[in-house]
Structure formats: structure tokens, C-alpha cells
Chain A
Amino acid sequence: MQILEAEHICKSFDRTEVLKDISFSLEKSQVLSIIGSSGSGKTTLLRCLNFLETPDQGIIRVKGETVFDGSDASYLKESMIRKNRLHFGMVFQSFNLFPQYTALRNVMLAKELQAKARPDYKEKKKQILEEIRAEAEELLRQMGLEDRMGNYPHQLSGGQCQRVAIARALALKPDILCFDEPTSALDPELTGEVLRVMKELAAQKMTMIIVTHEMTFARDVSDQVLFMDEGYVLEHGSPDEVFGDPKEERTKQFLSHFFAS
């Protein structure tokens, strides 16, 4: 059973077509890496999945349920979008942590706000908040940040910030976690600690879509690799197929920048 199906996604900004008919699917617990040169539309694709951009056309299904259909305006309602985007988590290149909250509060905040809508919130407030806190602490421990929970983002290194951001996304238990170049803002030393955490998540069978320029990592961790070029999916297959035996000339050319032979 496919956890995610994207069909014929198209997206233009003004007159520039950025995504031209993108289709792919993903099985539960698989890791999909998206690679491609700058401007090929990788970020835009992730943003469409998270409804930060609205595709002009196409269908997105999660666990068989349609969450977006470009021909049906009812999917554009704000409440609908807010519900559907929770299938996805998003980790940004620039972390985007909330600076006025500690690491722990960053992870708890969205859950707390959600809990306020629960009918039993008033009666069981204390217990609910206690649970949310315990879960957040557990996530931060998993990220290796047990001694950083009370720190504010400006007191953390880039790698620590990104791990908090991952914990924050995981707190809402998304079906699919998206990463947009999660290590591009980090120096090589800090990149390692973030990639290690992502590998652990993959081992725990988290379904993930990772836009990355870390080719070695993509090769190691992915079940599928998707090569994008100028808004098209040019190549899609296992890491061995895409990295080992690319079919398109354009793919070979792109990969030659990373794997000098």
C-alpha cells in the first residue's frame, strides 16, 4: 500500500513553470531522496506537499485518502488545509525555531495549542500538559539533547537547532517527514550529527522525503531516489539504479560533480 501518491503536480509562479507534471509514489517506511541541480523545483515540490504552496494542478493522496485535488476547490479551504497538512512534517534548511521559547517549549507548543481544542482539556489540563511534556522530553532525548532542553535557540549550535526542529516536527506524529536540505546551513562537523539522527529515524521506519545535496548519505539511507531537472522527474529508482547506472545523460552529468571518477 502506498502511503503517498502524487499525480501530475504542476506549479507555476507567474509565468515560470517550476513543476511540470510531477508524479511519484512512496511506500510506508521508505525513504525517498530528491536530488537535482539548483532551481530544479525540489523545494517547491516539498512546499506543495506541505501546502505552503498550492499546486495549480494534480492530486495528492495520503494512505489512499485524497488530501489535495487541483480540480476541486473544497481542498483549498483553510480548515481543510490545516487538517491535511498534519499528514506531513517539515524540517527547513534554516531551522525556523521560535526564538522566544526553549528547546522543550518549541517541541511542545503546537501540541499544547492542539490540546486546547480537546473537549476534556479543562478537566484534565494538568495531566494532558504533563503527557505532552513527557513526550517532548523523550523526543529531545532521542535527538541526543537531554541536557539542552531548557536552552533557547540562540544558545544552541546549528546542529542542535536542527535536531530540535526535527523533534518539533516529530511531536505531531506526521505520516511523512519532509526535509529540505537539512544540513545545508551547517558546517561539515555539525552535518554529521544531524545525518546520524536521520539515519536512526530511517532505521525506526519513519517515512521520509529528503531533499539533499549529500549524495553519499542519499545513497546509503534511501530506498528510492528521484532526480529532478527543470521541473521534471528525470529519473526515479533505487539508489543503485540512479547512482550506479543512470539512464539519462543529464543525470550522469549532474552526478559527475559529486562522484569524480
Chain B
Amino acid sequence: MDLFLEQLPVVIKSLNIGFLQTLKLFFATLLGALPLGLAISFGSRSRISIIRYIFKVFIWIIRGTPLMIQLLIIYYFPGLVLHNAIWGGDEAGRFAASAIAFIINYACYFSEIFRGGIQSIPVGQDEAGLVLGMTKSQIFFKVKLLQMVKRILPPISNEILTLVKDTSLARIIALQEIIWAGQAFMKGSQGISGAIWPLFFTAVYYLVCNGLLTIVLGRCEKKLEFFV
């Protein structure tokens, strides 16, 4: 017991640092993937069939293969195949590679949700706006956007909760996120080795984080309940 209390502050400090990296990856992914996803959703609905086709194939590949493989390829491909190690060998390089892999992957998932959201708005809404002399952009921003947001919020919330947990995949390229930090105490780190309990602690971080997100996202959904 005494040993545990002695080790606890060391472990917590290390987990905090790891969790900070987890959160950084989480927010970077959201910030990048939401707008990129919207752009991809427009591309996949392009009137030009070749563009539509290219986007569809891209989405198919990204959604059809594991994020872990995408991480490995994005991190190692430049150095091993192109002999140009653009990422450098440090934590910053690993973070940049992870963020790019996550942004591309999540943007594809988001884009399909956006596409569904846009398509689920009845054409009658467009037509009503048109006959009232509105421009296409007025119709999008003043008529359809809020209806879209309302419809896509539940599936987007799902993806966001999954993303929190998926960030741990970046461990495969040794990004020092929270699971990496917890696992270090099994292998031996800062005078502690063979300890599995730090790993259980990491689970608490995820639970609390997703608990808070669930509350916030739930509030947003509630806010949009004033219309149907």
C-alpha cells in the first residue's frame, strides 16, 4: 500500500502528460476533419462524374482499410520508400503524422455523414427558397444548414466518442499518448516496472472525457429540439 501511494503521483503525472497528447490529437483531428469532411462531401456529390468517382474511390479505400495501416503508411512511407524522412524522428514529427492520418480518416467518415445530412433535406425546402427569390447560398445557410446540423448531430456525436478512443492507435508509431504512457510502467519507466494498474487508470481518463462529451453533445441536441 505504501508503495502504491509512493508510485501514484509519478504515474498520475506521466498519465497527465500522455493524456494531454491524446487531447491534442483529438482536437487537431476534429478541427481538421470537420471542414475537410464537408469539402469531401461536396466532392462526392459533384456534378462531374469523374470527380465524383475519384472521391468515392478515395472514401472507399480510407473507410475500407484499418486506420492503423494508414498511420503506419503515412509515418513510414516517406522515409523508407521515398528516402525523405519528412516527419523527423521526434515526438513532434510523430504527432504531425498521426494528426494527418486521423484527419484524413475521420474526414472520410464525416463526409459520408454530411452527404447523408444534405440529401435528407427534402427538395421542397430548396424549391420553397427558390420561388421566394433566394440565392443558392442563402438557401444553404438560412434554410438548410440548421436542419442538416440537427440531423447529423447524433451520428457525428458517435464518431466523436469513437475518436477519443481511437487516438490510442497512434501508439503504433510510438506517439506518447496516454496508453503509451500507462504501458511504459509495465515495461519499466521511472523506477516502476511490471505494474499493470496504471493501464486501468487510463481507462478512467477515457471514461471521464467521454462522459463530459456525452453531456455537452446531448445539450446541443436538446438545443435543437425546438423544431422538427
Q: List 20 A-B contacts (CB under 8 A).
A: A50-B131, A51-B130, A52-B130, A89-B131, A92-B127, A92-B128, A96-B122, A96-B128, A98-B125, A98-B128, A100-B146, A100-B147, A100-B227, A110-B133, A110-B134, A113-B138, A114-B133, A153-B227, A154-B228, A169-B131
Q: Are the C-beta atoms of A52 and B133 separated by less than 8 Å?
A: no
Number of residues on chain B facing chain A (CB within 8 A)? 21
Among A85, A92, A99, the residue within 8 A (CB) of B228 is A99
CB-CB under 8 A from A154, the residues of chain B are 227-228
With CB as the reference atom, state the residue of chain B lying closest to A109: B142
Q: Are the C-beta atoms of B124 and A92 separated by less than 8 Å?
A: yes
Q: Please report which residues of chain B, range 16-49, place their CB below 8 angstroms from some CB of chain A when the two chains form the complex.
A: none
With CB as the reference atom, state the residue of chain A lying closest to B146: A100
A86 at the interface (CB under 8 A from B): yes
Q: Please report which residues of chain B, range 56-77, place their CB below 8 angstroms from some CB of chain A when the two chains form the complex.
A: none
- Give CA–CA (A85, B125) in the complex, Å: 17
Q: Are the C-beta atoms of A110 and B132 separated by less than 8 Å?
A: yes
CB-CB under 8 A from B227, the residues of chain A are 99-100, 152-154
- Give CA–CA (A94, B132) in the complex, Å: 16
> Which of B122, B133, B138, B226 has the largest number of chain A CB atoms within 10 A?
B133
B96 at the interface (CB under 8 A from A): no
Among B125, B134, B142, B147, the residue within 8 A (CB) of A96 is B125
A42 at the interface (CB under 8 A from B): no
> In the complex where A109-B142, A113-B142, A154-B227 touch, is A97 in contact with B128 (Cβ < 8 A)?
yes
Q: Are the C-beta atoms of A52 and B132 separated by less than 8 Å?
A: no
Q: A98-B125, A100-B226, A110-B132 are in contact. List 18 more A-B contacts (CB 8 A).
A: A50-B131, A51-B130, A82-B135, A85-B131, A86-B133, A89-B131, A90-B131, A92-B128, A96-B122, A96-B125, A97-B128, A99-B147, A99-B228, A100-B147, A110-B134, A113-B138, A152-B226, A153-B227
Q: Are the C-beta atoms of A85 and B133 separated by less than 8 Å?
A: yes
Q: Please report which residues of chain A, range 86-133, place their CB below 8 angstroms from some CB of chain B when the two chains form the complex.
A: 86, 88-90, 92, 94, 96-100, 109-110, 113-114
- Give CA–CA (A89, B127) in the complex, Å: 12
- Give CA–CA (A50, B132) in the complex, Å: 10
Which B residues lie at the A interface, using CB under 8 A? 122, 124-125, 127-135, 138, 142-143, 146-147, 150, 226-228
With CB as the reference atom, state the residue of chain B lying closest to A152: B227
Among A83, A88, A152, the residue within 8 A (CB) of B131 is A88
CB-CB under 8 A from B130, the residues of chain A are 50-52, 85
- Give CA–CA (A206, B132) in the complex, Å: 18
With CB as the reference atom, state the residue of chain B lying closest to A178: B131
With CB as the reference atom, state the residue of chain B lying closest to A113: B138
Q: Closest approach, in angstroms, between the C-beta of B165 and any C-beta of chain A?
A: 33
A215 at the interface (CB under 8 A from B): no
CB-CB under 8 A from A90, the residues of chain B are 127, 131
Q: Are the C-beta atoms of B226 and A52 separated by less than 8 Å?
A: no
- Give CA–CA (A66, B127) in the complex, Å: 23
A168 at the interface (CB under 8 A from B): yes
CB-CB under 8 A from B134, the residues of chain A are 110, 113
With CB as the reference atom, state the residue of chain A lying closest to B224: A100
With CB as the reference atom, state the residue of chain A lying closest to B132: A110
With CB as the reference atom, state the residue of chain A lying closest to B124: A96
A149 at the interface (CB under 8 A from B): no
Q: Closest approach, in angstroms, between the C-beta of A10 and any C-beta of chain B?
A: 22
Q: Are the C-beta atoms of A109 and B124 separated by less than 8 Å?
A: no
- Give CA–CA (A113, B128) in the complex, Å: 14
CB-CB under 8 A from B128, the residues of chain A are 92, 96-98
CB-CB under 8 A from B146, the residues of chain A are 100
Among B122, B127, B150, the residue within 8 A (CB) of A52 is B127
CB-CB under 8 A from A153, the residues of chain B are 227
- Give CA–CA (A95, B143) in the complex, Å: 15
- Give CA–CA (A86, B131) in the complex, Å: 7
With CB as the reference atom, state the residue of chain B lying closest to A84: B133
- Give CA–CA (A20, B130) in the complex, Å: 25
CB-CB under 8 A from A51, the residues of chain B are 130
A172 at the interface (CB under 8 A from B): yes
- Give CA–CA (A153, B150) in the complex, Å: 16
Q: Closest approach, in angstroms, between the C-beta of A93 and any C-beta of chain B?
A: 9
CB-CB under 8 A from B150, the residues of chain A are 100
Q: Are the C-beta atoms of B131 and A94 separated by less than 8 Å?
A: no
